[in-house]
Amino acid sequence: MELKYSSGNINELPVGAVVYFVSEFDKIPKNLKALDDCCGNAITDLLKTTEFTGKNGEISVLRNVDCFKAMKVILLGVGAKKSLNHDSFRKAMGILSRHKSLTSIGRAVFYFDGFEDASFYQGTIEGYLLGSFKLLDYKSGDDKKSKNFLKEITFAVDNKKHLKRLEKAVTQGQIIAEGQLLARTLGLMPSNYFTPIDFAEKAKELAKKYKFKCRILDEAAIEKEKMGALLAVSKGSVEPPRFIICEYKGGPANRDPIVLVGKGVTFDSGGISLKAGLNMGDMKGDMCGGGVVLSAITTAARLGIQQNIVALIPTVENMPSGHATKPGDIHVSRKGLTIENINTDAEGRLILADALDYANKFNPQAVIDVATLTGATLYILGYAGIPIMGNNDKIKDQFRSAADNTAEKVWELPIWDEHRDQMKSSIADLQNSGGRAAGTITAGAFLENFIGDWPWLHVDIAYVDQEPSGKAYVPKGITGIGMRLLVSTLQNWKKV
Ligand code: BES
Ligand code: MN
Ligand code: ZN
């Protein structure tokens, strides 16, 4: 996609379409009068019949508009003026991004008439790129070819003095949306194309391209680190585990890093505690936490965020076999705490336990882990939001304001002593399952045993990592949720 910028006379541009952002109106607004005049008062008619009144996501196509060289003018409603924000533009453009009026042409102008907020510009490119995403890698023949013919977008404003802000906001939105698309792509890749070894290769490739450091611990190195909890999970699979360590230094050399930890289970069959068959294929997405974390550090490097960031991704495949860990087994974690394996399907917390302990090596100023950890999230917030837990109010506040920026909702859950007690084993220090009650919280209570003396935030993206039906800028499938949240948190980071 080629992006251009203009403050010139858009009427003269010989493009397929000019997209006009229009907020909700009950009489023709001043800035649309001229347009209405030169299309035979088509907008007046649309208003009369209530066919188009500027509600968010409404689309109307005007053809043969005399005063434009463009083939057509597309009116795109963004909603009520007083409640407009970045997400209004993300949503409206997300809907238009798949509309044939736009995808059938090669070049378009996005015209911001009277909209001067930079977050609207950023929301628009994010909405376009996120909404039009379609993974074609696994199609063949003609189906592999994109049916979206749009190749060039010119972002246009009236006033030359807004041009720099426009370009900056759109460039930033493009990089951030591409980060989320990377997270989606990794999550959609089936486990036979994306093993722990592939994950590690991908991390190295991105690190090389965007100039940050990346080291991989192979199985022998993981054994040397005594990551007994992680190794217990990977034992059942023929795919060996990997431990990915990425480091990006955008801040002063002596500043402690923010460490991101992501669950990287490339397939979660449940192990010997085998899952039921229905929708088991979704568990190829059980590495989404790791995918989001890798995409976030990549995006941070591309944006040049001025923080030191470490990404740790333990990656394994959880499979049943003659080699597999069995319920009742006891594992010795890297930290030395012993864990009774009540349910081999509670594998995520085992690999995260060793990764959180490994984070101590970096003397972190804070640690944020992201994981598709518990199915119980479905009964708490459903597909609508992300449960978070942690030990530091300042991180939670920063994360909540990031969530306001990105329109990814988060909600805090408590961890109480009752929940901690649920995770105690009668014969080992801990057990990996506390039963059904408060399943999302008890997973957090388990992880808490492995954190060091630092502020910590746990982000459970189970279920919200998938969109069941399709929304304005989130097509059905893997969402890449959490990637924009992390990046926004890092961009606005204040010491906690
Ligand atoms: N990867 C799953 C959680 C999950 C379920 C993510 C559905 C997305 C959609 C996790 O490893 C798991 O199996 N958790 C168990 C834990 C239980 C055995 C204590 C769960 O939530 O049922
Ligand atoms: Mn599991
Ligand atoms: Zn899992």
- Which pLDDT tens digit goes with each residue over 139-194? 999 999 999 999 999 999 999 999 999 999 999 999 999 999 999 999 999 999 99
Q: How far apart are the first and last CA of the chain?
A: 39
pLDDT of residue 215: 98
Residues 102, 233 within the same domain: no
* Exposure b/e, 280-308, CB count within 10 A at least 16 = b: eebbbbbbbbbbbbbbbbbbbbbbebebb
Query: In this structure, are strands 366-371 and 386-390 parallel, antiparallel, or unpaired?
Result: unpaired
Q: Specify whether 145 is catalytic.
A: no
Task: Tell me which residues have their CB closer than 6 angstroms to ligand 1.
Answer: 268, 286, 343, 345-348, 372, 374-376, 433, 439, 462-463
Backbone angles phi, psi at 240, to 5 degrees: -70, 155
Sign of CA dihedral 163, 164, 169, 172: positive
The CATH code of the domain that includes 117 is 3.40.220.10
Q: Which residue among 4, 226, 275, 409 is the active-site one? A: 275
pLDDT in tens, 294-331: 999 999 999 999 999 999 999 999 999 999 999 999 99
Boundary-marking domain end, from 158, 178, 198? 178
Residues 173, 220 within the same domain: no
Total structural domains in the chain?
Answer: 2
Domain containing residue 123: 2-178
**Ligand 1 pocket test, candidate residues 269, 345, 423, 440, most atoms within 8 A of CB:** 345
pTM across the whole model: 0.98
Asked if residue 388 lies in contact with residue 410, where contact means CB atoms within 8 angstroms, the answer is: yes
Average pLDDT over residues 113-139: 97
- What distance in angstroms lies between residue 375's CA and the mean position of ligand 1's atoms? 4
Binned at pLDDT 50, 70 and 90, residue 8 comes out as confident
The reply to whether 183 falls in a domain is: no
Mean pLDDT of the chain: 98
pLDDT of residue 345: 98
Asked if residue 367 lies in contact with residue 361, where contact means CB atoms within 8 angstroms, the answer is: no
The reply to whether 351 falls in a domain is: yes
Residues 223, 140 within the same domain: no
Boundary-marking domain end, from 178, 208, 236? 178
Distance in angstroms (rounded) separating the CA atoms of residues 363 and 354: 16
The two structure tokens encoding residue 35: 């347009």
The CATH code of the domain that includes 228 is 3.40.630.10
Q: Whose CA is nearest to atom 3 of ligand 1?
A: 374
The reply to whether 33 falls in a domain is: yes
Residues 315, 446 within the same domain: yes
Residues 282, 400 within the same domain: yes
Binned at pLDDT 50, 70 and 90, residue 85 comes out as very high
E strand intervals along 57-179: 59-63, 72-79, 107-112, 152-157
3-state class of 224 per DSSP?
Answer: helix
Q: CA dihedral in degrees (332, 338, 341, 342; nearest 10)?
A: 180
Percent of the chain exceeding pLDDT 90 equals 99
Q: Which residue among 72, 349, 396, 420 is the active-site one? A: 349
The reply to whether 184 falls in a domain is: no
